[in-house]
C-alpha cells in the first residue's frame, strides 16, 4: 500500500513489525532539525496555569505580564495576538463552559492525569469542530491524526463524559478521536521539565519509538504562535537508517514494556529491550551500604567513567553486563542515586555529591544513547557542583582547587557539547546559558 506522506529528507516505508518506519533519504548530520511541526492541540499542566500564556506557552516575566480572558477568567495570554489565536483555534468553544466543567463533581473525581486528558480532549474537539470539512485532506493535521492507529485500551468513558462541551461534530467522531489520543500525546517540556501536553499528528505518524533513539523532540515557544515541536538528530544518521524518538524515558527499564503494551499497543524490539529480555527479572538493589559500594565500583569500572573524563564520552555497549550489576537497571536504583546526588549537592556535601554524581553519570552512559539531553543536563549539574565546591570551601589548598577546577572544565565541556547538539528549548535562560555563565566564571 502506498504511504502518501511526503516529507523532505524522509521516506516512510514498511517496517517488519510496526505499521511503517521513517527512514532518512539523505545523510542527516548530528544536531540538525529533521522536522518542525506546530501543536494541533496543547494544554498546560495544572501547576503552570496562570504562569504561562495559554496560547504560546511563554512564561510570565516582568517584560511579559499576562492578561486574563475576561470571559472565563481562567485562560491567560501575553497579548491580543495570542488571545485571538487561541480564541479562533478552540477557546471560543470552551470559554463559556470552562468553569462549569472544571468545578463539576465529575471533573473533580478524575485522577490528575485524566483531568489533563479531558482538558486536552476539550481543546482537540473544539479545534476539530472549527475545521470540519477538512477531515479528508490527507496532509492536514486532522487528516493525519485520523490516520493514526487507535490505542490499545478502551477510552475511559468518564473522561469523555466529563469533557464539558458538545461540539457540533459527528458524535461518532468523538470516540474515534479519543481512541487516538492517549497513544499520540506528547509531554511538552521546557529545559526537559514537563509543562504541558500536546498533539503533534505528523510526528506521531512518522516516528517510531526506540529506547536508544537517534533523534529527540524539543519544544519552541514564540509569541503569537502555537507550541512548535522540532525533532533533532542526536547523532549522524545515514541514508536508509530509521529515525526514532523516545516516547518515554529509556530509564524506565522495568515498566517500559508494560507501558508500551497498555498505552501504545506495541512491543519494543530495540537492542536495549532485547538485552533487557536476556537479563531476566531485575533484582532489587541491596540495602546494605558495603554491597552498594561494591556495585557502584563495578558500574564505574564497566563504563570506565573515570578514565574517559579526560577525553570525550564513550559509547558503552549494553552487552556482557556482569551479573552483579543487573540491579542497576532497577528503577529504585536510579531514583535513589539521583536523590542522593541532588540532596548532597544542594546541602553542600560536595564529596558525596561528586561521588554519587559520577556513579550516576556512569549509569546514564549505560542506559541513554549518545548525546541524550538528560546526560548533558547531568554533566552541567556535576560541573556546577564541582564549581560550588571550589567556591564554598575557603580552606581548600591550591592543588585541590586546581584539580577540582579541572574537573569542572571536563564536566562542562562534555555537557556543553551534548546540550549544543540538542539545542535550546522552551524558556530563555536554559542550561546552555547556564553553561556559558559557568564557563565565564571559570575562565574570566
Ligand atoms: Zn503568548
Ligand atoms: Zn475564556
Ligand atoms: Zn526498547
Q: How far is the CA of 216 from the centre of ligand 3 (A)?
A: 15
Mean pLDDT throughout 418-438?
95
Higher pLDDT, 229 or 287: 229
Q: How far is the CA of 141 from the centre of ligand 3 (A)?
A: 28
pLDDT band of 412, cuts 50, 70, 90: very high
Neighbouring residues of 192: CB distance < 8 A, sequence distance ≥ 6: 373, 374, 377, 425
Higher pLDDT, 403 or 132: 403
Q: How far is the CA of 94 from the centre of ligand 1 (A)?
A: 18
Q: How far is the CA of 201 from the centre of ligand 2 (A)?
A: 26
Q: Which three cell numbers stand for residue 229?
A: 515541536
Higher pLDDT, 228 or 256: 228
Q: Which of 22-36, 93-107, 252-266 has the highest mean pLDDT?
A: 22-36
Q: How far is the CA of 91 from the centre of ligand 2 (A)?
A: 6
Mean pLDDT throughout 58-74?
94
CATH of domain 282-442: 1.25.40
181: pLDDT strictly greater than 50: yes
Q: What is the pLDDT of residue 163?
A: 59
Q: How far is the CA of 436 from the centre of ligand 2 (A)?
A: 40
Rounded CA separation 444/405 (Å)? 13
Q: How far is the CA of 170 from the centre of ligand 2 (A)?
A: 25
Q: How far is the CA of 242 from the centre of ligand 3 (A)?
A: 14
Q: How far is the CA of 73 from the centre of ligand 1 (A)?
A: 16
Which residues of the chain are in CATH 1.25.40 domains? 282-442
Higher pLDDT, 68 or 139: 68
Looking at the chain, the whole-number percentage of residues with pLDDT higher than 70 is 92
Rounded CA separation 207/15 (Å)? 12
Which residues of the chain are in CATH 2.170.270.10 domains? 10-260
Across the chain, mean pLDDT equals 89
Rounded CA separation 240/198 (Å)? 29
Q: What is the pLDDT of residue 216?
A: 98
Rounded CA separation 413/3 (Å)? 43
Higher pLDDT, 258 or 75: 75
393: pLDDT strictly greater than 80: no
**Domain at 10-260, CATH from 1.10.260.40, 3.30.1330.90, 1.20.58.220, 2.170.270.10:** 2.170.270.10
Rounded CA separation 124/142 (Å)? 10
Mean pLDDT throughout 64-74?
95
Q: How many separate helices (H) and strands (E) can be counted in the chain? A: 17, 12
Cα dihedral value 269, 274, 279, 284, nearest 10:
-40
Mean pLDDT throughout 177-189?
86
348: pLDDT strictly greater than 50: yes
Max alpha carbon distance in the chain (Å)?
Answer: 74
Q: How far is the CA of 153 from the centre of ligand 2 (A)?
A: 32
152: pLDDT strictly greater than 90: no
Task: Could you list the beta-strand ranges (E) of 176-222.
Answer: 186-190, 193-199, 208-209, 215-220
Closest by CA to 78, choosing from 190, 225, 195, 193, is 225
Rounded CA separation 232/218 (Å)? 7
Mean pLDDT throughout 167-180?
71
Q: What is the pLDDT of residue 311?
A: 65
Amino acid at each position: 500500500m502506498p504511504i502518501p506522506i511526503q516529507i523532505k529528507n524522509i521516506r516512510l516505508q514498511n517496517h517488519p513489525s510496526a505499521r511503517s518506519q521513517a527512514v532518512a533519504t539523505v545523510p542527516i548530520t548530528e544536531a540538525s532539525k529533521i522536522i518542525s511541526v506546530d501543536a494541533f492541540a496543547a494544554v498546560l499542566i495544572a501547576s503552570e496555569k496562570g504562569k504561562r500564556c495559554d496560547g504560546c506557552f511563554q512564561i510570565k516575566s516582568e517584560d511579559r505580564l499576562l492578561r486574563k480572558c475576561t470571559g472565563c477568567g481562567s485562560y491567560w495570554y501575553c497579548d491580543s495576538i495570542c488571545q485571538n489565536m487561541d480564541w479562533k483555534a478552540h477557546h471560543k468553544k470552551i470559554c463559556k463552559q470552562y468553569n462549569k466543567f472544571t468545578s463539576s463533581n465529575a471533573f473533580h473525581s478524575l485522577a490528575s492525569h485524566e483531568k489533563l486528558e479531558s482538558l486536552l480532549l476539550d481543546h482537540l474537539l473544539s479545534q476539530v469542530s472549527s475545521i470540519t470539512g477538512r477531515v479528508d485532506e490527507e496532509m492536514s493535521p486532522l487528516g493525519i491524526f485520523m490516520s493514526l492507529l487507535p490505542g490499545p485500551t478502551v477510552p475511559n468513558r468518564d473522561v469523555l463524559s466529563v469533557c464539558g462541551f458538545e461540539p457540533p461534530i459527528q458524535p461518532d467522531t468523538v470516540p474515534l478521536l479519543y481512541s487516538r489520543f492517549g497513544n499520540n500525546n506528547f509531554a511538552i517540556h521546557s529545559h526537559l521539565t514537563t509543562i504541558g501536553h500536546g498533539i503533534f499528528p505528523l510526528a506521531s505518524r512518522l516516528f517510531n519509538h526506540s529506547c536508544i533513539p537517534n533523534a529527540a523532540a524539543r519544544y519552541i515557544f514564540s509569541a503569537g504562535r502555537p507550541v512548535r515541536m522540532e525533532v533533532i538528530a542526536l547523532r549522524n544518521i545515514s541514508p536508509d537508517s530509521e529515525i526514532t524518538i523516545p516516547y518515554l524515558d529509556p530509564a524506565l527499564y522495568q515498566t517500559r514494556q508494560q507501558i508500551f503494551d497498555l498505552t501504545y499497543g506495541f512491543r519494543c524490539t530495540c537492542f536495549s529491550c532485547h538485552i533487557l529480555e536476556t537479563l531476566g527479572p531485575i533484582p532489587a538493589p541491596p540495602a546494605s551500604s558495603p554491597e552498594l559500594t561494591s556495585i557502584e565500583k563495578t558500574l564505574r569500572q564497566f563504563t570506565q567513567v573515570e578514565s574517559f573524563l579526560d577525553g570525550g564520552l564513550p559509547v558503552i555497549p549494553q552487552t556482557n553486563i556482569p551479573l552483579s550489576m543487573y540491579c542497576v537497571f532497577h528503577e529504585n536504583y536510579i531514583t535513589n542515586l539521583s536523590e542522593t546526588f541532588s540532596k548532597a549537592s544542594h546541602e553542600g556535601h560536595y564529596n558525596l555529591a561528586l561521588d554519587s554524581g559520577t556513579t550516576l553519570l556512569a549509569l546514564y552512559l549505560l542506559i541513554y544513547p549518545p548525546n541524550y539531553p538528560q546526560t548533558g543536563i547531568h554533566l552541567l549539574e556535576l560541573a556546577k557542583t564541582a564549581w560550588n565546591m571550589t567556591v564554598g570551601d575557603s580552606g581548600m589548598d591550591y592543588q585541590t582547587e586546581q584539580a577540582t577546577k579541572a574537573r569542572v572544565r571536563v564536566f562542562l565541556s562534555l555537557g556543553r557539547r551534548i546540550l549544543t547538539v540538542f539545542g535550546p528549548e522552551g524558556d530563555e535562560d536554559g542550561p546552555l546559558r547556564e553553561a556559558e555563565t559557568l564557563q565565564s566564571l571559570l575562565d574570566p
